[in-house]
Amino acid sequence: MGGPPSLRDLFTHDRDRCIACLRLALAERLNQGDCVYHGFAAHFVPRAVAHVLRVCLIANQDYRIHAAAASLGVSERRAAKVIRDEDHPRYEWVYRLTHRKPWDPGLYDIVVPMQDRTVAEAVELIRENAARPALQKTEASQLAMKDFLLAATVGKALADAGHFYDVTADDGRIRITLTQEVFLKARLEGKLRELAGSVKGVRDVAVRLDTSSQMETPFGSLAADAPIKLLLVDDEREFVETLSERLRVRELQPAVAYDGEQALASVARDEPEVMILDLKMPGIDGMEVLRKVRKERPAVEVIILTGHGSGEDEQMARDLGAFAYLEKPVDIATLIQVVKEAYAKAQRSRDIPERSS
């Protein structure tokens, strides 16, 4: 369920079918009675279902790495890689469902930092919150639960017929949202109304277009615009490997250089459109690389990404023509957005029409 869709999935929509099944299975289970659900599919549950207690168990990275190393019997470096590999698809999955980061407190009723509590203390905190009057079932929250089940049932019916759209319900009234313009829209709307209307409990069906909801990951439609010629330059090999992995998950395939000399050779051999460049490197440092690239290859847009910069460095980089100046650690969504903007500018400077998705 994590990572970009495969080429096969673009035709089979297996992932979308799985999502429809997961949503329906969860809605059916929650409507059967009280339960404790552990898993990321819990983000399917609408906020209108107010008698559900949403809990996030979280810990800082040092705690997680130490605990994973002890549990798996591996080194902390290996444990850190395991955590990174497992976090990437979870991050994308939650963002796909909520358009928010998995640890965003707005997604939960309580957030429990486990590095500060024992398991017993966490359990007691959850028990206390679950007993609050605000968590008791009300007529409105139970209706919202039934609407969740109805919307999930309609969504599964549409998926079975090869239609994959966002479906919500309000007291039996179904709303189906299209995220992009389609040919023969009237015919499609008629088909969707027919399919949804055949589900028991549906009172009315509305179909609407909302293109603002097209983005299904925190990285926009950048992957659809690929390939982007991207060069990543940093002497910290572990950082380069980690960042490269995270970019490849988003269907970007960066070339890599580990020092200034390699970077300049790569630019001369296969001019990139965008370069992500560290400043502090042995030999030819990032500032000198920036100076040479902007002088000799002005169409290359350079994004400075450094963990050891200063205000003076930022001003100098901008004076030399850097497209952006970012500091480590950087939010991957922010970096992707800057790459996208730099790519657009690089395309304009080459007088080439921008690629469209």
Q: Are strands 173-178 and 166-170 parallel, antiparallel or unpaired?
A: antiparallel
| DSSP secondary structure letters along 255-291 | EEESSHHHHHHHHHHS--SEEEE-S--SSS-HHHHHH
User: For the segment 128-175, what is each residue's pLDDT rounded down to a tens digit?
Assistant: 998 888 888 899 999 999 999 999 999 999 999 999 999 999 999 999
For residue 214, what pLDDT is reported?
A: 47
**What type of residue sits at position 234?**
D
User: Does position 28 have pLDDT exceeding 50, yes or no?
Assistant: yes
In this structure, the answer to whether residues 119 and 155 fall within a common structural domain is no
In this structure, the answer to whether residues 116 and 75 fall within a common structural domain is yes
The helix/strand/coil state of 154 is helix
In this structure, the answer to whether residues 43 and 19 fall within a common structural domain is yes
Cβ(206)–Cβ(175) below 8 Å: yes
Phi, psi of 99 (to 5 degrees): 60, 30
In this structure, the answer to whether residues 244 and 323 fall within a common structural domain is yes
In a domain, 357, yes or no: no
In a domain, 248, yes or no: yes
- Choose the final residue of a domain: 193, 213, 233: 213
In a domain, 2, yes or no: no
In this structure, the answer to whether residues 15 and 127 fall within a common structural domain is yes
Secondary structure element (H or E) that encloses residue 306, with its range: strand 301-306
In this structure, the answer to whether residues 111 and 30 fall within a common structural domain is yes
In this structure, the answer to whether residues 60 and 109 fall within a common structural domain is yes
Please give the Cα distance from 193 to 208 (Å, whole number).
11
User: Does position 322 have pLDDT exceeding 60, yes or no?
Assistant: yes
User: Does position 267 have pLDDT exceeding 70, yes or no?
Assistant: yes
In this structure, the answer to whether residues 285 and 180 fall within a common structural domain is no
C-alpha closest to that of 163 among 141, 186, 193 = 193
In a domain, 1, yes or no: no
User: Does position 251 have pLDDT exceeding 70, yes or no?
Assistant: no
User: Does position 355 have pLDDT exceeding 70, yes or no?
Assistant: no
Report cis status (omega within 30 of 0) of the bond before 89: no
In this structure, the answer to whether residues 207 and 227 fall within a common structural domain is no
In this structure, the answer to whether residues 43 and 100 fall within a common structural domain is yes
In a domain, 3, yes or no: no
Residue 144 belongs to a domain with what CATH number?
A: 3.30.300
Total count of domains within the chain: 3
Residue 326 belongs to a domain with what CATH number?
A: 3.40.50.2300
Phi, psi of 83 (to 5 degrees): -65, -45
In a domain, 218, yes or no: no
For residue 81, what pLDDT is reported?
A: 87
In this structure, the answer to whether residues 115 and 14 fall within a common structural domain is yes
Give me the mean pLDDT over the 324-350 stretch.
86
Average per-residue pLDDT in the chain?
A: 85
In this structure, the answer to whether residues 208 and 235 fall within a common structural domain is no
Q: What is the CA radius of gyration of the chain?
A: 24
- Choose the final residue of a domain: 111, 135, 159: 135
Please give the Cα distance from 24 to 4 (Å, whole number).
23
Give me the mean pLDDT over the 316-334 stretch.
91
**Mean pLDDT lowest among 102-106, 291-295, 311-315:** 102-106
- Choose the final residue of a domain: 213, 247, 262: 213
For residue 149, the enclosing domain spans 139-213
Please give the Cα distance from 266 to 329 (Å, whole number).
25
pTM surpassing 0.85? Answer: no
